């Protein structure tokens, strides 16, 4: 869950041009936009890879795929839609 939590702010800070995260320079400010995008994508991939290793006698069949679906939907629905609304306001002006 920590990886999921860490992925969102990387992209959010870039889209919102937020320069600080927790009183520290945002990743994109410190390392540049390209490297920050790479880091966000890598974190997201790590989440998927960790889910593929979620196996064992107590793990129901298909559970990792269902977890991934829930995580992806949680990113698409409120977060992405919120970003679209923000970007429209930025592009359109006040």
pTM of the model: 0.67
Per-residue pLDDT tens digits for 2-22? 777 788 889 889 988 899 999
Question: Do 43 and 7 meet the contact criterion of CB atoms below 8 Å apart?
Answer: yes
Per-residue pLDDT tens digits for 34-54? 999 999 999 988 988 888 888
Question: Do 73 and 40 meet the contact criterion of CB atoms below 8 Å apart?
Answer: no
Question: Do 15 and 91 meet the contact criterion of CB atoms below 8 Å apart?
Answer: no
Dihedral through CA 28, CA 14, CA 34, CA 42, nearest 10?
90
The residues spanned by each domain of the chain are 2-92
């Amino acid at each position: 869950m920590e990886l999921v939590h860490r992925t969102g702010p990387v992209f959010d800070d870039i889209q919102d041009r937020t320069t600080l995260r927790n009183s520290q320079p945002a990743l994109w400010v410190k390392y540049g936009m390209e490297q920050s995008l790479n880091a966000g994508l890598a974190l997201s991939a790590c989440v998927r890879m960790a889910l593929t290793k979620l196996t064992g006698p107590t793990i129901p069949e298909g559970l990792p795929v269902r977890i991934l679906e829930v995580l992806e939907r949680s990113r698409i629905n409120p977060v992405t839609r919120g970003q679209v609304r923000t970007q429209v306001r930025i592009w359109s002006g006040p």
